[in-house]
Structure 1
Amino acid sequence: MVGKRYEEAKEKAKEKLQQVVSVSLTSDVMWTSINMEAYLAVTCHYIDGEAKLGTILLGVEHFPTTHTAENLALAHTKFMEEWGNQDKAKCLVTDAAANMIACVNLLNVRHALCIAHSLNLIVRKSFDEVPGLAELRAKCRKMVTYFRTSTTAKETLAAVQKQMGRPVLKMIIEVDTRWNSTFSMLQRLYVVREPVGAALASLRTDITPPTSLEYATIEEAIQVLAPFQQATVELSGEKWVSASKIIPLLKMLSHTTQTKTESLTTHMARQLGANLVRRVIDRSLKAEAITVMTMPTLLDPRFKKLGFLRPTKLDEAVTRLKGNCAEIIRNTPSSTPPQQPETSQSTDNSKC
C-alpha cells in the first residue's frame, strides 16, 4: 500500500513540474543515518501558474560512493532526468564545500550559496574565537545532557518546576551542525536556571550549575544571537520569497548586532558581538557582488536600493541591471507593426 501511494503521489508531482517553466534545486549531501550512512537530498522549488511558491522533495537516496564532484554531478543528473527537469533547472543552492561548487560547475547551472548555512558558519566561527565561551558552552551541554539522560534528574526538575508554579519545560540539547540549536539550548537553560539550581542541590551529582557571572554571559549572548535566529527562520521558509531579503537582512544584522554589542557588559558577550559584526559585514560585501542576490533585491519594490551596505556595490549592481534590461530589449522583437505610408484616399477618409 505504501509503494502504491508513493507512485501515485510521485506522478501527481511530476504533472505539476511539467507545467512550470523553470525550477531551482536545493542539495544537501550531509544527511547521515544512525548507521552513519551518507544520503543525498535534492529538493525542487518552482512558481506555479497562480504565482505561488511550490516545493517538491525529489528524493533522499543512499550515497555510498565518495563525495567527489563527478559522483555528485552524476547523482544530480539522475534526479533531474528522472523528474524531467534537466532543461528547466536554472539554479542549484548548496553549501560552500569545494566539491559541491565543482559539482555545480559540471552541471552548468547557476550556483547560489545557502545563506542559512553561511549564518551557521558565521556564528560558529565567532563562538570559537572567544576564549572561554566554548568551555562555558561545553559546561552547559554537560548539564543539559545529565537532565536529559537521567530519569531521576528529569523527574526532579519537573517536580521543582511544579512546586515553583512554573510550566514544566524540558531541557534542549544542541546539535553540532546547527548553531540555532545551541541558541535554543542556552535560551531554555537560562529560562529554567532557578529550577535547575534547586534540582541539582537535591541530586547526588558532581555537576555544578553556571555561576552568576556565567549566567550573565549566557543572557547577553542570547540577546546578541536572537537576531541571527530570526534571520535563519526567515531565510528558511518555503512559502515566501527569500532571495531578495538576503542583502537587506545582512545589513540589518550588522546594524542590530553592533547596536546591541554597545550595551553589553560582559567581556565574552562583547567579543562575540564584535566577531559577529565583522563577519556579517564581510559576508554582506560578498553578497552585494553576486548577481543572483543583487538582482532580486533591486527588483523587489520593498527594498530596491535600500538594502545595500556599500554605495559602490549598489552602483555596480544597478549598472548590471541596466545592462541586462538593455540586452533584453535588443533581443525582443518589436510587437508594433511597421507603419504604412498614407495615401490620398486614407487622408480623405480621415478628414471625413
Structure 2
Amino acid sequence: MVNEALVNMVIKDSQPFSIVDDDGFRELLHVLDPTYVIPTRKALKVMVDHKYKEAKEKAREQLQKVAAISLTSDMWTSLNMDAYLAVTCHFIDDNDKLCTILLGVEHFPNSHTAENLAAGHIKLMEEWGIKDKVKCLVTDAAANMIACVRSLNVRHAICIAHGLNLIVRKSFDDISTFNDIRSKCRKLVTYFRTSTTAKERLAQVQEQMGRPVLKMIIEVDTRWNSTFNMLERLYQLREPVGAALASLKTDITPPTALEYEAVRDALDVLGPFRQATVELSGEKRVSASKVIPLMKMLNHAVTSKLEGLNSNLTKQLGDSLVRRVREQAVNLESISVMTMPTLLDPRFKKLGFLSQGKLQEAVSRLKSECATVIRSSGLQSASTNTPPAQLPASSEAGQSTNNSK
C-alpha cells in the first residue's frame, strides 16, 4: 500500500525519482512507518512504468468499445527547443459522458512536412487500434497540418481557440501604434522578470503601498490570452512599477498616461475574447454548437463597447476585431460540422447565425440530411419488413422546430 501511494504521489505531483534519496523525505517516511523499506530510484522507476502500462491498457480497452473518435493534434517546442507532436482523443462513453485520453506526446525530430506529420498520426492511431474509428481531426490552421489531415482522409476542423488567437494577433498587427505599445510593455515586463534587483524593488514598493505582492506576467506568442494577462497585470501594477523604476538605474521607460489609457480600453474590448476562449477550451463539455453563437456575441459585444471608447487607437483596434470576427463568422457558417450542431441545439437553433443567407443554406443542408436518413431508414425497413422510423414532422423537422423561435 505504501509503495502504491508513493507511486501515485510521483505521478500526480510530477515528482522526480530522486525524491527517494532526499534526506527530509526519507526522515518523514521513517517517522510514519519505521519498518518501511524505501525503494531505490531504479525500483521506483520500474513501479511507475508498471503503473503506466496498466493505465494505458485500461485506456486501450475503453477505446475498443467506442464506435467514433475525434482527435486534437498540435506541435509544440520544449524549453530545450525539442519538437513534440501531441495527440489527444475525445469520445462519448456508454454513459454519454465526454471522455478524453492523451494518446501521446511524441518526440518529433523529423522535419514538419505533411508526410512526416501524417506518418506520426498513423503510428499513434495504429498503436492504439483506432485508425478506422477516427471521424475528425482538429488542428491549427498551419498549411502543413491541413495537408496532413487531407492525406489521412478524415474530416478536418480548425481549432476555434486558435482562430480567436489569430483574430486578435492580426488585429494587433493592423494597428502598428498599438503593437508598439504592446512591445514597449513586453520590454518593461521582461526587465522586471529577468532582473533580480528590479523584481525585489517592485515587491518592496508594493509592500510599502500596502498592496499584495504580485509578479509580472510575460506573454507567449502562440497564446493571445497571455498578452491579455500581461497587459492586465501591468495596468494593475502601473503605480508600483513607476515608483520602482524611479529608483532603478535603467533606461527603460514605462508607458505614458495616454498609452496606459489605451491599454485600459483595449482590455475592456478584449475581455469578451478571453471569455470566449475559456468557454471553448473546456474538455468536459461539447462546444461545437456554441461556436457560431459565440462569434455573433463577440460581434455584438465589441460593437457595443466601441460606442463608449474615447481612444481613437482603441477604436481602430475594435474596428479591426469586428471586421475579422465577421469574416470568421461567415466562414464558420459555411461549414456543416459547425452549423448542424447549432441548428440542432435547442438553446440556439436559428438565433446563433450572423448571416441570414448562410442560415438558409444551413437549414437546407439539414433538411437534405434528414431526407437522406428517412430514405435510408425506409430502404432498411423494406428489406426487413418493419415499419420505418419516423422523425418528428418528417424532413421538415429542422424548419418547424426552428419556427418555434
Give the TM interval when normalised to the shorter protein: over 0.9
Matched, 1:8 2:54: yes
The Cα of 1:268 is off from its aligned counterpart by 1.3
The Cα of 1:35 is off from its aligned counterpart by 2.6
The Cα of 1:19 is off from its aligned counterpart by 1.7
Correspondence for 2:254: 209
Q: Distance in 1 between matches of 2:176 and 2:150?
A: 39
Q: Secondary structure at the match of 2:349?
A: coil
Q: Which amino acid aligns with 2:259?
A: E
Aligned with residue 274 of structure 2, among 205, 229, 250: 229
Q: Distance in 2 between matches of 1:112 and 1:172?
A: 31
Correspondence for 2:20: none
Correspondence for 1:28: 74
The Cα of 1:72 is off from its aligned counterpart by 1.3
Correspondence for 1:325: 370
Cα displacement string for residues 299-319 of structure 1 (whole angstroms, at most 9, x for unaligned residues): 111111110001111111011
Correspondence for 2:329: 284
Q: Distance in 1 between matches of 2:198 and 2:293?
A: 45
Correspondence for 1:134: 179
- Of structures 1 and 2, the one with the larger relative CO (CA 8 A, separation 6+) is 1
How big is the alpha-carbon RMSD for the aligned residues of Structure 1 and Structure 2? Answer: 1.2
Which piece of structure 1 moves more, 277-286 or 80-89? 80-89
Correspondence for 1:274: 319
On the 8 A contact 1:131/1:268 being kept in 2, the answer is no
Cα displacement string for residues 298-345 of structure 1 (whole angstroms, at most 9, x for unaligned residues): 11111111100011111110110111111111112338747xxxxxxx
Instruction: State how 1:1-352 maps to structure 2 within 5 Å.
Output: 1-29=47-75, 31-332=76-377, 333-334=380-381, 337=386
Ranges in structure 2 where 5+ consecutive residues have no aligned partner: 1-46, 388-405
Q: Secondary structure at the match of 2:156?
A: strand
The Cα of 1:179 is off from its aligned counterpart by 1.1
Q: Which amino acid aligns with 1:199?
A: A
TM-score (norm 1): 0.93
On the 8 A contact 1:190/1:219 being kept in 2, the answer is yes
Ranges in structure 1 where 5+ consecutive residues have no aligned partner: 339-352
Percent identical across equivalent pairs?
A: 70
Q: Distance in 2 between matches of 1:293 and 1:336?
A: 36
Q: Distance in 2 between matches of 1:59 and 1:129?
A: 38
Q: Distance in 1 between matches of 2:284 and 2:354?
A: 27
The Cα of 1:182 is off from its aligned counterpart by 0.7
Which piece of structure 1 moves more, 326-335 or 103-112? 326-335
